[in-house]
Amino acid sequence: MMVALSVAPAVASEPARNTDGEARRVVILNATDPYLPAFLALDSAWREAIRAGSKAPTQLFAETLDMSRFPQLLFDEDRVALLRKKYRALKVDVIVALAPIALDFAQRHAADIWPGAVIVFNSVPVSDFDSRNLDPRTIGVPNQLDFGPTIELGLRLRPNARRIAVVAGTAAPDQRHLSHAKAWLARHAGELDVQYLVGLTLADTVAKVQVLPKDTVVLYLAMFRDGAGVPLVPRDVLEQLAAASPAPVFGVFETFLGHGIAAGSIASFAAQGRQTGELVVRVLNGEDPAAIGVQAPVTPGCIADWLQLRHWGIDESLLPPGCEVRFKEATLWDRYRWQILATLALILLQTALIAWLALSHRRLRQAQTAAQQEHDLRRDAETLATRLRDRLGRFSREQSLGAMATAIAHEISQPLIAIQNYAQAAKRRLESNVDDKPKLLELYAKIEGQAARAGTITQRVRSAVSTSDLELLPVSLAPLLDEVVRIMEPETEDRGCHIVCESAADLPAVLADALQVQLVLVNLLRNAMQSVCSSEGFDKRVFIEARPVDEREVQVSVMDRGRGVPPGRVADIFEPLYSSVSGGMGMGLAISRATIEAHGGRLWYEANPTGGAIFRFTLRTARP
Amino acid sequence: MTHTERQTVFIVDDDAAVRDSIAELVESIGLHAEGYASAPEFLKAFQPERPGCLVLDVRMAEMSGLVLQERLNALGAGIPVIVLTGHGDVPMAVEAMKAGAVDFLQKPYREQALLDSINAALSMDTAARRSKAAAETFEQCLATLTTREREVFDHVLAGETSKEIARALEISPRTAEAHRHNLLRKFGAGSAKELMSMLASSDKEE
């Protein structure tokens, strides 16, 4: 709230003139209570402006007249004497006079107390200057108290209001404000029902306000002193009034905001203080005060208290355009902006973290899946490889031995069937007694042809394993044996068998068709495994042994500890179509023997002295 | 009549000697034989109206006997099929029978078994063609009947006498008798009983 002030300077001896480099001095002459909210707002604003703008070091002094609570005239002389004494030795450049009382005091006594000082006033209503004579060394920022526009604003926000209640105290500023307001209201007489609550005790004032009709616009001017002469802080009074009032209260002072007024046409104290400080700076920096002169007042503008608007149910849209709305704390955003930002940041961070984790997790899972797939693929590939190897093994076996035997059997059966048919046809023709000699001759010729065909097939079988078709090359036997063991591996595992391969270190290369020899070995190994691995109770190992016999021969043995071959059957096993094993064509050993013999070697059977079978074959060494 | 054409034993086997020897065997008992080296070759030459039977080696490279059977079935060819299988091809033989083969022989087979099978198949083919022809003839005759004769025909088949027919159709017994005479003549039947047996034999085919 705005307050009136007065100043009581003391008279000093002739102070030294200010020179460049010397400190500048400013005395703040406050007519009011030093803790008056309005003063604090103004004071900090101009101190800030002076500190920022003054070229020379500047000392600030504060004098409080507190004239509201202590009637000025009573202490005037003593104050002046005291201040004169106090500032006797100091050259003061500027007196900042706050409010009309302080300006009055300064105008009366500044020449005595602070000779040569320029007076810069503040918070003096524009209307005062009609009756005030100012010398050129007195400049300042008057204030414009918009009681009229505030009433208009009140009526705008309360469209249904039919009456105005004006509340004011009895102190000088209270009365000054009241006269301003009355002047405005007088110009609008007849339109409104105006009630003045002035000169009452605070308690009575509150009581009167309490019973006001709801359609009232309450204009609170200020109450520095009530009807009983009790000094008051206008803002504290406002709080009581606002608490009691059934209708919104309006006022013109910025410091009332947040303490009970709903809105008002208000000039910012900070702006007024800053402007005042800037005037001080100009003077301190050497400008001629006469050239500066009295400034235009800071223009008041609509300012509303959002909480009050909400409290009274006033629609914000009723506010005039450009109206500043304060305390819009309802938005959590305003109150907790940083907390919200921090929280949001935290949430974002967490979200990002979670997202990152989720992403990582997914990537991990993808990686795992990929790894799993790769693993599966590899496993499939291995399975496939095993199967292929198995098939290869079977292929090599069947293709050349079993299947070859089957193919041979089929090949031979065809001409045999034909021979049989031809023979029967001839026989029937003979039996029918039809003399058709050419036909019979033809049939016999065909029989002969088919017999020759059968002969050719057997010839072909023999030649398939004869030297002429074999590619005898120097072959290193050890790797060949390893290869066979590897080919047999899947089958070996399936049967739970184990092939033990021992080859002599000084094994010479042999002359062999590697594939054919491998097939022989596969055949022998399979026989051995069928013998020992298909039934329980046998040593499930099959041994391969390779060693040189002499310079010309190498001997390879395939041994098992199965049943062996019954002594009476040894001669039969190398006969075609003999098989001790069901499912085989029995051609294996015969062809194997033929193959080895085609290599210039021998293949034979020996009973294993420890039980089981031994098949041995020899191959010629590659030595010249 | 088409079924008077000479019957042929069609032999499909990818072994030339076997094919030829079967043909010789078949011809030695006075039948006509034709050999084909593959199923597609046979299908190309195949004429459904030619009577006979088919001796088929089930295991052939280009198109198996089973596939050929399916093709023939799809063509609606009623030619009887004898399937020759290799030793141990029991599952294939089963398939062949399912596909409508009249017989199957496992190699090595006795030549007499094959010849018996061929003869039986030819007889079946003859019978089938005859009843099919009878049905066709019957249908043709039926088509030559007038509307009134057709009405009389239904009553004749129901075993009614000319008198009964005349009463049912509200015509004179003489007229009924005339219609009856005409339609029997058109079918070449000597009596109503004969007509009914013709119908029965044509039904058998259908």
Q: How confident is the model at residue A388 (pLDDT cuts 50, 70, 90)?
A: low
Which residues in chain A are contacts of B117 at CB distance < 8 A? none
Lowest mean pLDDT among A24-38, A415-429, A510-524, B75-89: B75-89
Q: Which residue of A has its CA nearest to B13?
A: A414
Are A424 and B28 inside 8 Å of each other by CB?
A: yes
Q: Closest partner residue to A443 among B24, B86, B87, by Cβ? A: B24
Per-residue pLDDT of B149-200, as tens digits, reads 888 888 887 878 888 888 888 888 888 888 888 888 888 777 777 877 777 7
Three-state DSSP state, A301: strand
Whether residue A223 contacts residue A167, with contact meaning beta carbons closer than 8 Å, is answered with yes
Which residues in chain B are contacts of A449 at CB distance < 8 A? 17
A15, pLDDT greater than 50: no
Whether residue B15 contacts residue B62, with contact meaning beta carbons closer than 8 Å, is answered with no
Q: Which long-range contacts (CB under 8 A, 24 or more apart) does B202-205 make?
A: B202/B131, B202/B134, B202/B135, B202/B137, B202/B138, B202/B139, B203/B135, B204/B131, B205/B128, B205/B131, B205/B132, B205/B134, B205/B135
Q: Which among A196, A198, A303 is positioned nearest to A251, based on CA atoms?
A: A303
Three-state DSSP state, A433: coil
Per-residue pLDDT of B74-89, as tens digits, reads 887 788 999 888 766 6
Other beta carbons less than 10 A from residue B26's beta carbon: 24
Contacts with A225 (C-beta within 8 Å, 6 or more apart), sequence order: A68, A169, A170, A171, A174, A231, A232
Q: Phi and psi of A142, rounded to 5°?
A: -70, 165
Give the HSE-up count for residue B155: Cα atoms under 13 Å, Cβ half-sphere. Answer: 22
User: Which amino acid, residue A558?
Assistant: V
What is the rounded average pLDDT for all residues in chain A? 81
Other beta carbons less than 10 A from residue A483's beta carbon: 13
This complex has an ipTM of: 0.73
Torsional sign, CA A367, A369, A374, A375: positive
User: From CA A485, how far away is CA A274, in angstroms rounded?
Assistant: 104
- Token digits for B6? 């000479």
Q: How confident is the model at residue A11 (pLDDT cuts 50, 70, 90)?
A: very low
Other beta carbons less than 10 A from residue B129's beta carbon: 20
Are A429 and B28 inside 8 Å of each other by CB?
A: yes
Whether residue A306 contacts residue A334, with contact meaning beta carbons closer than 8 Å, is answered with no
Helix and strand tally (H, E) in chain A? 16, 19
Write the CA distances from A19 to A14, A536, A547, integer angstroms.
15, 127, 126
User: Which amino acid, residue A298?
Assistant: V
Phi and psi based region of residue A344 (left: phi greater than 0; alpha: psi -120 to 50; beta: remaining): alpha
A144, pLDDT greater than 80: yes
Three-state DSSP state, B10: strand
User: From CA A167, how far away is CA A209, in angstroms rounded?
Assistant: 9
Q: Which residue of A has its CA nearest to B24?
A: A425
Q: Which residue of B has its CA nearest to A429?
A: B28
Write the CA distances from B22 to A432, B2, B166, integer angstroms.
18, 27, 62
Per-residue pLDDT of A78-107, as tens digits, reads 788 888 888 988 899 999 999 888 888 888
Other beta carbons less than 10 A from residue B135's beta carbon: 18
Characterize A88-124 residue by residue with b for buried, 16 or more Cβ atoms within 10 angstroms of its Cβ, and e for exposed.
eeebbbbbbbbbbbbbbbbbbbbbbbbbebbbbbbbb
Are A446 and B22 inside 8 Å of each other by CB?
A: no
A505, pLDDT greater than 90: no
Give the HSE-up count for residue B142: Cα atoms under 13 Å, Cβ half-sphere. Answer: 15
* DSSP 8-state symbol, A267: B
Q: Which residue of B has its CA nearest to A450?
A: B17
Whether residue A432 contacts residue B123, with contact meaning beta carbons closer than 8 Å, is answered with no
User: From CA A313, how far away is CA A223, in angstroms rounded?
Assistant: 27
pLDDT number for residue A279: 93
* DSSP 8-state symbol, A509: P
Are B21 and A421 inside 8 Å of each other by CB?
A: yes
Size of interface A-B (CB pairs under 8 A): 54
Q: Which among B198, B196, B44, B205 is positioned nearest to B124, based on CA atoms?
A: B205
In order, the DSSP letters of A400-412 are: IIIHHHHHHHHHH
Q: Closest partner residue to A421 among B24, B29, B86, by Cβ? A: B24
Please tell me the distance in Å from B85's CA to the nearest CA on chain A.
12
B206, pLDDT greater than 60: no
Are B15 and A432 inside 8 Å of each other by CB?
A: no
Sheet holding A58-64, edge to edge: A58-64, A24-30, A94-98, A118-125, A138-143
Whether residue A526 contacts residue A579, with contact meaning beta carbons closer than 8 Å, is answered with no
In order, the DSSP letters of A479-507 are: HHHHHHHHHHHHHHHHHT-EEEEEE-TTP
A369, pLDDT greater than 50: yes
Characterize A239-276 residue by residue with b for buried, 16 or more Cβ atoms within 10 angstroms of its Cβ, and e for exposed.
ebbbebbebbbbbbbbbbbebbbbbbbbbbbbebbbbb
Whether residue A303 contacts residue A266, with contact meaning beta carbons closer than 8 Å, is answered with yes
Helices (H), chain B: 16-28, 39-45, 65-75, 90-98, 111-144, 147-157, 162-169, 173-187, 192-205
Which residues in chain A are contacts of B21 at CB distance < 8 A? 417-422, 425, 446, 450
pLDDT number for residue A450: 84
Give the HSE-up count for residue A508: Cα atoms under 13 Å, Cβ half-sphere. Answer: 18
Are B111 and A426 inside 8 Å of each other by CB?
A: no
User: From CA A575, how far away is CA B73, in angstroms rounded?
Assistant: 47
pLDDT number for residue A337: 67
A281, pLDDT greater than 90: yes
User: From CA B79, how far away is CA A294, in angstroms rounded?
Assistant: 133
Rg (CA), chain B: 23
Are B21 and A429 inside 8 Å of each other by CB?
A: no
Which residues in chain A are contacts of B22 at CB distance < 8 A? 421
Are A428 and B107 inside 8 Å of each other by CB?
A: no
pLDDT number for residue B202: 66
Please tell me the distance in Å from A472's CA to the nearest CA on chain B.
35
Torsional sign, CA A423, A428, A433, A436: negative
Q: Closest partner residue to B17 among A410, A414, A443, by Cβ? A: A414
Reply yes or no: is the peptide bond before residue A415 cis, omega within 30 of 0.
no
Are B107 and A432 inside 8 Å of each other by CB?
A: no
Are A425 and B27 inside 8 Å of each other by CB?
A: yes
Whether residue A177 contacts residue A145, with contact meaning beta carbons closer than 8 Å, is answered with yes
B204, pLDDT greater than 80: no
Whether residue B53 contacts residue B59, with contact meaning beta carbons closer than 8 Å, is answered with no
Q: Which among A193, A183, A188 is positioned nearest to A221, based on CA atoms?
A: A183
| Cα end-to-end span (Å), chain B | 19
Chain A residues within 8 Å of chain B (Cβ atoms): 410, 413-422, 424-426, 428-429, 432, 443, 446, 449-450, 453
Q: What does the pLDDT average to over B134-163?
A: 81
User: Which amino acid, residue A109?
Assistant: H
pTM of the model: 0.41
Q: What percent of chain A has pLDDT above 90?
A: 27
Q: Closest partner residue to B21 among A410, A413, A446, by Cβ? A: A446
User: From CA A178, how far away is CA A288, in angstroms rounded?
Assistant: 36
Per-residue pLDDT of A571-587, as tens digits, reads 777 765 554 443 343 45
Select from B11, B13, B18 the residue whose CB has the most chain A CBs within 10 Å, as the one to mutate to test that interface. Answer: B18
pLDDT number for residue B2: 44
Phi and psi based region of residue B176 (left: phi greater than 0; alpha: psi -120 to 50; beta: remaining): alpha
In order, the DSSP letters of A199-261 are: S--HHHHHHHHHTS-TTEEEEEEE-SB-TT--B--HHHHHHHHHHH-SS-EE-SBGGGBTTTE
pLDDT winner (highest mean) among A19-28, A162-171, A428-437: A162-171
A8, pLDDT greater than 50: no
User: From CA A328, how far away is CA A258, in angstroms rounded?
Assistant: 11
Per-residue pLDDT of B20-69, as tens digits, reads 999 999 998 889 999 998 888 898 998 888 899 999 887 776 677 788 88
Q: Closest partner residue to A453 among B17, B24, B27, by Cβ? A: B17
Are A421 and B29 inside 8 Å of each other by CB?
A: no
- Token digits for B39? 């199923």
User: From CA A507, how far away is CA A619, in angstroms rounded?
Assistant: 12
